[in-house]
């Protein structure tokens, strides 16, 4: 999966304002809505929150990957958010989450979703990439790190 195809340049925030899980998910979804990637906000929000209720998408190493599947998108779309100081996102390692990668993908296609999650996980397993994301001065740097590394 080519992260460049999925990641929307206009759906990157270096400083998310929200500090609670549901609000973070809504704020990131709004990035995708404002970028024109999501037409049906209500359905997308429902799929994201339903998925989060099943099991937290807070991972290890300060990473959270909220994701959901819905029939309201034709292809996988992704947004990135950063909260440098970190927040509680019920992560597996019980550490604060700082880097958020949100995906919304078609309900009927598992392949791109799984490939994207595997690629992002592989990339963000690298400490240097995580540190560079947290130190990024603009959205273009974030986009380049995630699409060219």
Q: Please confirm, yes or no, whether 67 is among the known catalytic residues.
A: yes
Q: Which two tokens stand for residue 19?
A: 């500090």
DSSP type of residue 90:
-
Nearest to 102 by CA among 17, 21, 39, 1: 21
Inform me whether the pLDDT recorded for 113 exceeds 90. no
Q: What whole-number distance in Å separates Cα of residue 87 and Cα of residue 96?
A: 5
Name the band, by pLDDT with cuts 50, 70 and 90, for residue 109: confident
- Contact predicate 44/112, CB 8 Å: no
**Mean pLDDT, the chain, integer:** 92
Q: What whole-number distance in Å separates Cα of residue 111 and Cα of residue 83?
A: 29
Q: What whole-number distance in Å separates Cα of residue 36 and Cα of residue 95?
A: 33
CATH of the domain at 39: 3.40.930.10
120: which residues sit within 8 A by CB, 6+ positions away? 3, 65, 78, 101, 146
The 10s digit of each residue's pLDDT in 47-64 is: 999 999 999 999 999 999
Q: What whole-number distance in Å separates Cα of residue 124 and Cα of residue 86?
A: 16
- The total number of structural domains in the chain stands at 1
pTM: 0.93
Given the residues 47, 57, 67, 70, the one annotated as active site: 67
Q: How many residues does the chain have?
A: 149
Q: Give the residue with greater pLDDT, 92 vs 111.
A: 92
Inform me whether the pLDDT recorded for 110 exceeds 90. no
Domain range enclosing 92? 3-148
């Amino acid at each position: 999966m080519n992260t460049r195809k999925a990641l929307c340049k206009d759906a990157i925030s270096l400083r998310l304002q929200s500090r609670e899980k549901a609000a973070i998910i809504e704020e990131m979804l709004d990035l995708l809505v404002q970028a024109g990637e999501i037409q049906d906000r209500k359905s997308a929000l429902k799929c994201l929150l339903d998925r989060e209720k099943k099991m937290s998408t807070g991972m290890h190493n300060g990473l959270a990957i909220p994701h959901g599947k819905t029939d309201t998108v034709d292809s996988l779309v992704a947004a990135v958010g950063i909260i440098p100081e970190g927040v509680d996102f019920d992560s597996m390692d019980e550490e604060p989450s700082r880097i958020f990668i949100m995906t919304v993908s078609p309900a009927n296609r598992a392949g791109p979703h799984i490939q994207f999650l595997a690629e992002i996980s592989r990339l963000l397993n690298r400490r240097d990439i995580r540190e560079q994301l947290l130190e990024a001065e603009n959205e273009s740097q974030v986009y380049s790190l995630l699409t060219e590394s």
